[in-house]
Structures are given as structure tokens and as C-alpha cells.
Amino acid sequence: MRQILLIQTIILICTNGFTQTLNFTLANPQPNIMEAYGGTFASGDIDGDGDLDLFMTGLTPQIWTKLYKNDGTGNFTEVTHNFPRSGNGQAFFKDLDGDGDLDLFFSGQDELAQKFANIYRNDGTGNFTQVPNNLPVFIKGAAIADVDNDGDQDLVITTSTVAGIYLNNGNAVFTPQGNSVFTPVDGIVQIIDIENDGDQDVIISGSNTIKLYQNNGSGVYTLNTNTTFPAITAEGIEVADTDNDGDLDLLINGNTQNLLYINNGTGVFTQIATNIQQTFAGQNAFADLDNDGDQDLLIVGSQAGGLPNIFNIVYRNDGNNTFVQTQILGGEYIADCIIDDFNGDGLKDIIIQGFVDKTNVYWNSSTVISISEQIATNQSINFYPNPAKDFINFKLNNESDVTLYNTLGQKLLTKQINSKDYVIDISNLSNGTYIIILNENGNLKTAKFSKL
């Protein structure tokens, strides 16, 4: 009976990945960053000291661009820079010249209402110098990825008149690829590898369209029509493996909706029903907030009707695309957010700016207790692949009993393994998450795997 209870406990823990309490605490005192709304964030270690620094734009109501260095514990100090002031816009820290430090792409609209799209090279200590480039000017509509697999970071850009690939020469100078299949729209761009082939596909939204473009591996794109997306202009498109099945899914925010599309692994997406709050005029973000291996969710924005129906909502991902609301962190619209570990404690924190309460920092105070801390005998199992489609290969040191359970705790299969190398056929299992329990003379080992 004791062993049965232990197995049941392991199944419960494995189903949730970890035992955790997901919780955020309003920082007190608040870090010294500007109170703003309507702007954007970027984070990265710009000076190579091992902590995450912060780039921030917004309205105060004047427009500002700020750069802050982190002391490693979440205390930020403003540093001088030569960036234009901008409210709305986009910013990415990426190594654009291949020298190992983080450079900056920054687009927006300055105080004279002039649009810009600029590249800045980092000297390695957080000092930035603009690199001359002949990019189209715009506020938003860019993404960065190595689209042609040559080892450097390229730009994907869409504007109302121009859309295409701008190839990096390796030194942060970009030139148009030409012959673009993209339809120019004043909108947004997102990068996603839709079929796990290692190249970077593109999704673009604007002018009441959402279009998916598939990469042939060398930066040549074709329109993918395998999925019909709604005729909306997306405010945001977030990419994450929401169900831990090994492929990337989509959360599309637009037309006062948050729509979750699940990838079948070949780049065909299907919308599924969720309990995620519908919002607009904000920003969403996926991140593993409780270190349990799956992607949790932050929703920032207004519900239909506007004030007072605005809430920043944290959802815990319980697997199988089940999101459980755990906390409301005030409420913002005309807003943006960023998630990263800013105080160096190993947990991802949240910074939100918006029109109501301006900027607020929330420290992640979640309690995370790993399986190994709860059950001393639990160890990893040497098996592959994961995710798996038809077979799982085991490499064992001793004779063992292998049992497979679903996340409801139902026993599906038991095998006695008498060899070091063993293969189990899982082709008859439905797609989803499963639990492996190895019993080596009473010593229980556990693991999760995904069936594709």
C-alpha cells in the first residue's frame, strides 16, 4: 500500500512537473525606472557582467527613451545614450555583428513625428554607436532571425509599402534580398519554425490579414495556405510550445480576442477553445514562471468596454493547453510588458507599463520545489527520443519494471526489462503527455515524455 501511495504521489507531481505556488509581489521599493505608458521594452546583458539590463521607451506624457544598467539584484541605474526619443516602437538586443555582445535594433517615431529604424553596435561595455544602414523607416513591423542559415542575424520587415528580407553582411549592415513574396502591410512580424526543420518561418499580420510564409532553408519563402487564420489585424502574436509536444504554437491577440492555435507538428494550426481572457490595447507574453518546464502566460490589456475592466492576469500552464488563472497584477492598457530574471534569483520577474498605474515591477516570489527534493529516490531515466512518435528507446543499468501512465493516473502499459537496451512501442497511444515510472527493486525513477 505504501508503494502504491508513493507511485500516486509521483504521478501527481509529474503531472504538474513540479509542486509550486505561482506568485508575484509588487516590488517595494520600486526600482528607479521611468513611469510610462504606450512604449516598449528590451532586456539583455549589454555590458557582459552576467545580469540583465533594461531598455525602455514610453510616454510620461513626454516621450522618452531610457537605458538602464542592472547591478545584478534588480537595482537599475540610468546611463547616457544617443538613441532618439520614442514612445511607441520596437527594440531587440541581438548580436548583429558576430562579436559576442548584444547590439540593438530600434524603430519608432521621435518627438518630431519622424519615423526611424536604426541599428546600433555595442562596444561590449554597453556603449552603442549607430551603424549606417538604408532601412525603410517605420514604427513597428520587424523581426530578427538567421533566415538564410549563414550564421548571422537578418531582418524581416513589413511596412505599408515595403515587405521583405534584409540580409546581414555579418557586420550589422543590411541589404534587401529582393524578390519578396511578402505582401506589404502596416503591421507586425513574428518568427516561428512551424515544422521543426531548423529554419525560420514568418507570420505577418496587418490590414485585417494574417499570413504564414514558409522558409525553404535558404531564406526563400512561399505562402503557406494550410491554415486559415481569421481576418483580423493582430496586435501581437506570441510563439511558444504551449502543450509540450515539441512544436511551436501561436497565441494571436487582435480584435479584442486572444486566440490560441495549436500546431500539429507539420505547420498546420487549429484554433482551440480556452479560458484565456479576451483583451486589446496591451501585450501578452509566454515564459516558464515556475520553472516546471512548461510555458505560463501573462495577459496585459483591456477587456471589451474598457475601464474599469482592465486586468493584468497571470496564468499557470498545467499542460494539455490548460491555463489556470493564478493572480491579477493590477490592470493596464496602452501597455507593454517584459518577463526576465532581473534580480538574479533564478525566477523570471515581470515589468509592466501602462496608462493606469504607469510602470510597475513585480518580483517572482513563487515557491518551487523540485521532484527530487520531495522524493529522494527519484532520478532521471535515460531514454530517447522525447518527444517520441512510435518508439521509446531505454538505456538501463539494471533489470527494471517500466510502467506508463497518462496524466489522469491510469496505467497504460507495464513491461519487464531484462536488458540494458530496450524499445517500447508507443505508436498506439494518443498524442499528449505521459509519465514513465521505472521500478528497480523498489527504487522508483520518474520522467515525462510527449507523444507526437
Peptide bond into 31 cis (omega under 30): no
Q: Which residues on adjacent β-strands are paired with residue 259? A: 252
Among 193, 270, 195, 262, which Cα is nearest to 227's?
A: 270
Q: What would the mean pLDDT of 113-127 be, rounded to a whole number? A: 97
Model confidence pLDDT, tens digit, residues 315-366: 999 888 899 999 999 999 999 999 999 999 999 999 999 999 999 999 999 9
What's the CA gap between 119 and 154, in Å, rounded? 12
- pLDDT level of residue 387 (50, 70, 90 thresholds): confident
State yes or no: pLDDT of 375 exceeds 80. Answer: no
| pLDDT value for 423 | 81
State yes or no: pLDDT of 115 exceeds 50. Answer: yes
Among 74, 62, 68, which Cα is nearest to 27's?
A: 74
Q: What would the mean pLDDT of 232-247 be, rounded to a whole number? A: 94
**Over the chain, what is the mean pLDDT?**
89
Q: What would the mean pLDDT of 163-180 be, rounded to a whole number? A: 96
| pLDDT value for 84 | 97
Q: What would the mean pLDDT of 28-34 be, rounded to a whole number? A: 97
| pLDDT value for 392 | 85
State yes or no: pLDDT of 130 exceeds 90. Answer: yes
Rounded (10°) CA dihedral 426, 429, 430, 433: -60
> pTM for this one?
0.80
| pLDDT value for 372 | 38
Among 357, 350, 362, which Cα is nearest to 58's?
A: 357
